[in-house]
Chain A
Amino acid sequence: MSKSNFSRRGVLKTGMVASAGLALPQYLSAQESGYTNAPGDSEVILGFNVPQTGPYADEGADELRAYELAVEHLNGGGDGGMLPTFSSQELDGTGILGREVKYVTGDTQTKSDAARASARSMIEKDGAIMITGGSSSGVAVAVQALCQEAGIIFMAGLTHSNDTTGKDRRANGFRHFFNSYMSGAALAPVLEAAYGNSRKAYHLTADYNWGYTTEEAVRTSTEAMGWETVNTVLTPLTQTDFSSYIAPVLNSGADVLVLNHYGGNMVNSLTNAVQFGLRDAQANGQNFEIVVPLYSRLMAKGAGANVKGIFGSTNWHWSLQDAGSQAFVRSFGTKYGFPPSQAAHTCYVQTLLYADAVTRAGSFNPCAVDEALEDFEFDGLGNGPTLYRGEDHQCFKDVLVVKGKENPDNEFDLLEIVEVTPAAQVTYPADHPQFAGGALGSCNPGA
């Protein structure tokens, strides 16, 4: 009979000593550098926090592909993607500040609490120096606040609510993606040109933060050009069949239906609206029209032929002909066999922008990165000349107004670009009422 030498107390002691030993280098490094998760000399870890399960899992998968591509390019692999077209030529394919880029991933599940938990785990356990990703404004706002507390830079993925860089803006958070205000400002002139300025709009709005800011932005922009808002109805986020919300629209006096919905909500509400004949109907002596303020090609695919002829806005589209977009599409398409989504584009660009800021600053310190990104002007990343405004950490660049294509050439050819709205037309003062109530505060390096 053998006797074990392990005792409960012994195991606990050994475990505590081992844990302290493992944590010590990181702690000392953080103390020495003055910021959280200071990387060693050989590698730096980035945290990609995307929806890997749940309704936005396909969008999350596309974001992850883009991140992997960005890491490959930063480390000198592949064809370099947008590195040669990026106006800042600091990145040379040797990682970031000579350190090989590694990454860890988390699953946001498109739930704020799960997203915060996965981000926290990547920061505390994996030593991620930067967190990026997300396909929802609720998640972005929650993770941004966490990163601010932890002293980590957050480079937002797909988040369109005004609040991300409005009332919930944070010094450690940065958004490349456009926002609700910009959608409204870009769409309004195109809608006026296409449908005139004496229209009556009926809004169906998803009952959560993004829905509210999008409805407000589109309503304000369209009312400013003479449209009247007949009714605004909030629809539950969990709604799948919108028939009872859509059936009254035709007899409401409205001649335009604005669907402030995204994802599955958008697919279902648009499908239902077309089923009820709204696209072919007449009201007030005019053709009835439908508008979808925020388009996503991945989501548009779910609505099939129903998107044909329907206007919306998007941050980027693979059919853009500028050198940066073409380089990214070629790189992504060659590797994965299909063109990237706007979510993939913004995530790829955010990773490059972070790496570039660190390189220009010569430091991973979040406050140095913060300084390098603020008021940074760049080009060659797919949206024309762009400004990362220091006052609210929002990118200002061209916005695309798109329309569902009538005769698609292939399965990816769902949207056509109607207008590239110049950045100046979608720029607003940082204290604009739709963005009121927030303050960046000061950057937090953590440690």
Chain B
Amino acid sequence: MDQFILQILNGLDKGSAYALIALGLTLIFGTLGVVNFAHGALFMLGAFVAVTVSNLLTLSHKVIDETRTDFLGNPLQVDVPYLYDLFGQATGDTIIDWAVPISIVVAIPIMVCIGFIMERGLIKHFYKRPHADQILVTFGLAIVIQEIVKYFYGANPIPTPAPEAFIGSFDFGVILGFDPNQIIYPYWRLVYFFFSVIIIGAVFAFLQFTTFGMVVRAGMADRETVGILGIDIDKRFTIMFGIAAAVAGLAGVMYAPINSPNYHMGMDFLVLSFVVVVVGGMGSLPGAVAAGFLLGILESFASMSQVIDILPGINQIIIYLVAIIILLTRPRGLMGRKGVMEE
């Protein structure tokens, strides 16, 4: 039972990342009709916003410590962050410790801008081109972004820890009547899950309860008619691209403490997220979210040694196996709409 609960928690946590990325992908596909293979790169860029903010907060000047030596035997040059000079060491350390939450605030405008630049600068020129062209150009863009990040940050992962207050694990076992330490789950992963629920809820509320959202939904359903009514739907769709980029970026920022960011992390999630979108149904926002959590949970259960002992290798293929089964039985995915990508 304890293993069951642990894997459910794991699945929800994994599913949070899948759902956030897939949500952005579906937003872009549903509004602009573009299959955006650079979406994983936006997730990665978000994580590197956290790395950059962390680097900026620890910008330092050198102070020579004569009592210690460096690896060459010279007097050690100690880095003293400018924040220490400004606020004192205790406050400086607290600000540095909270680099990742601070990054959330910074990431939103940055990611929206990156989204605008991507859409206006490149992707808009491919709206009327076949999906194959869109995939090629956005995939190429993803590789370019990756290489740029690698040039500046290197290929190795960069540790970006969560605030000290969120280090450690929450003991679910005690609450559920199990022995202590039987069902423990890291605080930050729980934070990630609740954060993703809030972001997903905010996006749905924005689309459901605002006039802007209503127009966007109308445009998604029938772009031509909305255009005939004199509404500049393209402009709104561009804004939606920016919002989708921000969602992916925020998913990346919050993921940075879970696994140290590296230039390739976007690609690791991209293929899985596309499977999530297809399983959920192309263009369906609720489908993307539901499929994200579903596949996350299935992947977690498939990784249990008891399951692998019975079905060796199932952990490597489970997501694709489920995708095949769902597409065979429900060709439009779980919540796919008729007519989307069927012309």
Interface positions, chain B 293-319, Cβ under 8 Å from A, are: 299-301, 303-305, 308, 315-316
Q: Digit string of B7-34 for contact with A (CB within 8 Å is 1, else 0)?
A: 1011101100000000000000000000
Q: Digit string of A247-281 for contact with B (CB within 8 Å is 1, else 0)?
A: 11011000000000000100110011001110011
Interface positions, chain A 407-430, Cβ under 8 Å from B, are: 409-410, 412-413
- Asked whether any CB of chain B lies closer than 8 Å to the CB of A25, the reply is no
- Asked whether any CB of chain B lies closer than 8 Å to the CB of A330, the reply is yes
In the complex, are the beta carbons of B14 and A243 less than 8 A apart? yes
Smallest CB separation, B244 vs chain A (Å):
22
In the complex, are the beta carbons of A54 and B181 less than 8 A apart? no
- Asked whether any CB of chain A lies closer than 8 Å to the CB of B158, the reply is yes
Q: Which residue of A is nearest B70, CB measured?
A: A410
In the complex, are the beta carbons of A58 and B260 less than 8 A apart? no
The contact of B315 among A236, A277, A410, by CB within 8 Å, is A236
Interface positions, chain B 159-176, Cβ under 8 Å from A, are: 159, 161, 168-169
- Asked whether any CB of chain A lies closer than 8 Å to the CB of B259, the reply is yes
Secondary structure type dominating chain B contacts: mixed
- Asked whether any CB of chain A lies closer than 8 Å to the CB of B71, the reply is yes
- B158 partner residues in chain A, CB cutoff 8 A: 302
Give bound CA distance, A88 to B13, whole Å: 58
Smallest CB separation, B193 vs chain A (Å):
12
Q: Digit string of A224-252 for contact with B (CB within 8 Å is 1, else 0)?
A: 00000001011010101101110110110
In the complex, are the beta carbons of B262 and A264 less than 8 A apart? yes
- Asked whether any CB of chain B lies closer than 8 Å to the CB of A334, the reply is yes
- Asked whether any CB of chain A lies closer than 8 Å to the CB of B96, the reply is no
In the complex, are the beta carbons of A244 and B184 less than 8 A apart? no
In the complex, are the beta carbons of A58 and B155 less than 8 A apart? yes
In the complex, are the beta carbons of B304 and A301 less than 8 A apart? no
- A275 partner residues in chain B, CB cutoff 8 A: 169, 186, 188-189, 258
In the complex, are the beta carbons of B156 and A244 less than 8 A apart? no
In the complex, are the beta carbons of B260 and A302 less than 8 A apart? yes
The contact of B72 among A56, A282, A330, by CB within 8 Å, is A330
Smallest CB separation, B61 vs chain A (Å):
16
In the complex, are the beta carbons of B154 and A243 less than 8 A apart? no
Interface positions, chain A 77-107, Cβ under 8 Å from B, are: none
- Asked whether any CB of chain B lies closer than 8 Å to the CB of A362, the reply is no
Smallest CB separation, B177 vs chain A (Å):
15
Smallest CB separation, B251 vs chain A (Å):
13
- Asked whether any CB of chain A lies closer than 8 Å to the CB of B330, the reply is no
In the complex, are the beta carbons of A244 and B76 less than 8 A apart? no
In the complex, are the beta carbons of A299 and B156 less than 8 A apart? yes
The interface size bin for chain A is 35 or more
Q: A56-B155, A277-B169, A302-B156 are in contact. Are A251 and B260 (CB under 8 A)?
A: no
Give bound CA distance, A234 to B315, whole Å: 10
Smallest CB separation, B309 vs chain A (Å):
9
Q: A243-B189, A244-B304 are in contact. Are A277 and B184 (CB under 8 A)?
A: yes
- Asked whether any CB of chain B lies closer than 8 Å to the CB of A146, the reply is no
Q: A251-B2, A333-B71, A409-B68 are in contact. Are A303 and B304 (CB under 8 A)?
A: no
- Asked whether any CB of chain B lies closer than 8 Å to the CB of A57, the reply is yes
In the complex, are the beta carbons of B71 and A410 less than 8 A apart? yes
In the complex, are the beta carbons of B71 and A298 less than 8 A apart? no
In the complex, are the beta carbons of A303 and B159 less than 8 A apart? yes
The contact of A304 among B9, B76, B159, by CB within 8 Å, is B159
In the complex, are the beta carbons of A247 and B10 less than 8 A apart? yes
- A236 partner residues in chain B, CB cutoff 8 A: 315-316
Give bound CA distance, A104 to B316, whole Å: 39
Q: Digit string of B170-204 for contact with A (CB within 8 Å is 1, else 0)?
A: 00000000000110111011000000000000000
The contact of B259 among A56, A241, A412, by CB within 8 Å, is A241
The contact of B260 among A277, A298, A303, A333, by CB within 8 Å, is A303
- A305 partner residues in chain B, CB cutoff 8 A: 159, 161
- Asked whether any CB of chain B lies closer than 8 Å to the CB of A380, the reply is no
Q: Digit string of A320-347 for contact with B (CB within 8 Å is 1, else 0)?
A: 0000000001100110001100000000
- A234 partner residues in chain B, CB cutoff 8 A: 308
Give bound CA distance, A299 to B157, whole Å: 8
- Asked whether any CB of chain B lies closer than 8 Å to the CB of A55, the reply is yes
- Asked whether any CB of chain B lies closer than 8 Å to the CB of A318, the reply is yes
- B2 partner residues in chain A, CB cutoff 8 A: 251
Q: Digit string of B316-337 for contact with A (CB within 8 Å is 1, else 0)?
A: 1000000000000000000000
Q: Which residue of A is nearest B181, CB measured?
A: A281
In the complex, are the beta carbons of A264 and B157 less than 8 A apart? yes
- A304 partner residues in chain B, CB cutoff 8 A: 159, 161, 260
Smallest CB separation, A447 vs chain B (Å):
38
- Asked whether any CB of chain A lies closer than 8 Å to the CB of B3, the reply is yes
Give bound CA distance, A410 to B62, whole Å: 13
Smallest CB separation, A293 vs chain B (Å):
19
Question: Could you list which residues of chain B lie within 8 angstroms of chain A, going by C-beta atoms?
Answer: 2-3, 6-7, 9-11, 13-14, 68, 70-72, 76, 150, 154-159, 161, 168-169, 181-182, 184-186, 188-189, 258-260, 262, 264-265, 268-269, 299-301, 303-305, 308, 315-316
**18 A-B Cβ contacts within 8 A?**
A56-B155, A234-B308, A238-B268, A241-B14, A243-B13, A247-B10, A248-B3, A248-B6, A248-B305, A267-B259, A298-B156, A301-B159, A304-B161, A305-B161, A318-B71, A329-B71, A338-B71, A410-B70
With contacts A55-B155, A264-B157, A264-B264 known, what are 17 further pairs, Cβ within 8 A?
A55-B264, A58-B156, A231-B305, A241-B258, A241-B259, A243-B189, A247-B10, A251-B3, A251-B182, A264-B262, A275-B258, A276-B186, A277-B168, A303-B159, A305-B161, A330-B72, A412-B71
Q: Which 6 A-B pairs have the closest CB atoms?
A: A304-B159, A302-B157, A244-B303, A57-B155, A244-B300, A277-B169
